[in-house]
Amino acid sequence: LVARYTAAANAFGFDTVGRVTGDCPFVDAAMVDACLEQAAGGFDIATTKGAFPVGLDIELYSAAVMARLNAQDDLTESHREHLTLYMYDHKDRFAVRQLQPPAGWPATSQSFTVDTRADYDRAAALAAPFGDAHFSIPDLIERAAA
């Protein structure tokens, strides 16, 4: 993945890359915008991991840093496959910015990730009452808590 993401960033001339994985279907544009605003300034990686509910995850990283990682000879196979793992494993070498949920988001320990059929069924049940794909994450969190 490191090589593919580096090639894609180079092909499109990106300075910063936003990464949302396929198992996080509820990440929306408002959340991405809020994270981009928080991350303004210098960072190697900015992450929601550990501060946002599981499954509402985004990572923003410097394309130049990822290109340097791709050129390194000491990345393990796991570090090459798990795109940002090297940065987390070597936090002392990187400017890591911890992003915080926007003001007004309800606190929750609920998970919104979709890794299994049961996760999918739960996600579909949470989304169905909204009637369409345009609902806010705070509304989703409140529905999950009900």
pLDDT tens over the chain, length 146 residues: 888 999 999 999 999 999 999 999 999 999 999 999 999 888 999 999 999 999 999 999 999 999 999 898 888 899 988 889 999 999 999 999 999 999 889 889 999 999 999 999 999 999 999 988 889 999 999 999 88
Assigned token pair, 54: 């599981």
- Give start and end residues of each alpha helix (H) in 21-116: 29-38, 63-71, 77-81, 85-89
At residue 110, the pLDDT reads 92
Q: What letter does residue 59 receive in the DSSP assignment?
A: E
User: At how many degrees (to 10) do helices 117-127 and 137-145 cross?
Assistant: 110
At residue 62, the pLDDT reads 92
CB distance 104 to 137 below 8 Å = no
At residue 74, the pLDDT reads 85
At residue 45, the pLDDT reads 95
At residue 73, the pLDDT reads 85
Assigned token pair, 93: 């070498």
At residue 40, the pLDDT reads 85
Segment holding 135, helix H or strand E: none
Q: What letter does residue 21 receive in the DSSP assignment?
A: -
At residue 41, the pLDDT reads 82
pTM of the model: 0.88
Taken as a whole, the chain contains a residue count of 146
Assigned token pair, 41: 């300034």
Assigned token pair, 70: 């791709």
From 97, 146, 114, 119, select the one nearest 138 (Cα to Cα): 146
CB distance 37 to 98 below 8 Å = no
Alpha-carbon gap, residue 45 to 91, rounded angstroms: 10
At residue 130, the pLDDT reads 93
CB distance 79 to 85 below 8 Å = yes
